[in-house]
Amino acid sequence: MTLDPTNMLRGRPIIHYDRNSPSRFGIFPRRNPEQVRWFETEPCFIFHTASTWDEPASKINEDCKVEVEAVSMVACRYTNGNMLYSMGAIKPIEKENCDSQIYYYRFLLSDTKKNMITQQMALSAIPFEMPIVPAIYANTGPKFIYGCSSRDAIFGAETGEPMKVDCLVKIDVQTLISRGIDEDTQSIDGCVDKRNIQEIISSEDPEDPIKIFQAPQGWYAQEPQFVPREDAKEEGDGYLLTLMFDKSQLDADGHASENTRSELWIIDARDMRTVVAKIFLPQRVPYGFHGHWFSREEIDKQRPYVRLRTEKKEEPKGE
């Protein structure tokens, strides 16, 4: 993906995705960036990574230090650049839907002579974006990753089509990664769970590795936040908070009046079906990205505000 004004001289949009150039991933010790190692694979575009974690080696070296066997990464992987075209009101070169898939990469570090990606596979066939991982599990290999999806394409092929989220997804990535390795899903186009949105929604299996909260018809959600239960016994025991909006409140031209209102829905993250509570907001909150949830304890522990900038006082002038 390039952002280059000279693309326009070549008949391309200023933001251009080159599907003929390989993608490269760089891994380096954060305190020794000059030791970067590059891993090359098929072309793709990644806007959001979900989580990355180390896999320690089974053996300890002579200095009694735990070596890293590999680095694993879960990310949202696109195969074209239409998402950025859509967001930037740029006409896409190829009219195809732009849906990302949740994808797993494993970069082997123990082989110092060759940089290999030992696993690369889609964990699910459904569109998936805006991945959410509770901070406590972000760098330790989370079991569950939450995100946004849609019964239609998340991004339309034509410009100006906004991101429409009517499904919130909970994915047991560790189960799907293990299944993919057991089934030897090695192809870059391989997919562990090939079901579509409706097939997953229809599942009654309480142990299903993918669970979906389906918004009522005409309602759209925003990127959720995960809030752990105070007495949580395991990962995933908590709630999803998301802002919801009923599209029927818009007029014939798609405009919102001063009377339109959004709602904050609290969803049980264990079953991804039960709406625990709805909080009616005094006004509409436009669709947007990213947020954060703070507990009362975190708010109470905030440091008091201190003014850091002061006006420079002029020195008195001498006679």
Residue 66, pLDDT above cutoff 60? no
Predicted confidence at residue 211, as pLDDT, reads 97
Known binding residues: 48, 290
Q: Does residue 28 contact residue 37 with C-beta atoms inside 8 Å? A: yes
Average pLDDT rounded to a whole number, residues 278-287: 93
Q: What residues form DSSP beta bridges with 242?
A: 265
Residue 293 in domain: yes
d(CA 110, CA 59) in angstroms, rounded, equals: 11
pLDDT class of 142 with cuts at 50, 70, 90: very high
Residue 162 in domain: yes
Residue 219, pLDDT above cutoff 90? yes
Residue 198 in domain: yes
Predicted confidence at residue 157, as pLDDT, reads 46
Known binding residues for Fe cation: 48, 290
Our count of domains for the chain comes to: 1
Q: Which range marks the domain in which residue 277 is found?
A: 2-298
pLDDT class of 19 with cuts at 50, 70, 90: confident
Nearest to 256 by CA among 281, 223, 292, 224: 281
User: How does pLDDT run across 71-117, given as a tens digit for each residue?
Assistant: 999 999 988 877 777 766 666 666 666 678 999 999 999 888 899 99
Residue 91 in domain: yes
What do you get for the CA distance between the two ends of the chain, in Å? 65
pLDDT class of 269 with cuts at 50, 70, 90: very high
Residue 19 in domain: yes
Residue 238 in domain: yes
The mean pLDDT of the chain is: 86
User: How does pLDDT run across 172-197, given as a tens digit for each residue?
Assistant: 999 999 999 988 776 667 899 999 99
pLDDT class of 34 with cuts at 50, 70, 90: very high
Q: Under 8 Å CB-to-CB from 93, ≥6 apart: which residues?
A: 12, 13, 85
Query: 47 or 267, which is more confident?
Result: 267
Contacts of range 270-277, beta carbons closer than 8 Å, 24 or more positions apart: 270/236, 270/237, 270/238, 271/206, 271/211, 272/168, 272/169, 272/170, 272/211, 272/212, 272/213, 272/240, 273/211, 273/213, 276/239
Query: With pLDDT > 90 as the criterion, what percentage of the chain qualifies?
Result: 51
d(CA 147, CA 204) in angstroms, rounded, equals: 21
d(CA 28, CA 36) in angstroms, rounded, equals: 4
Query: 260 or 3, which is more confident?
Result: 260
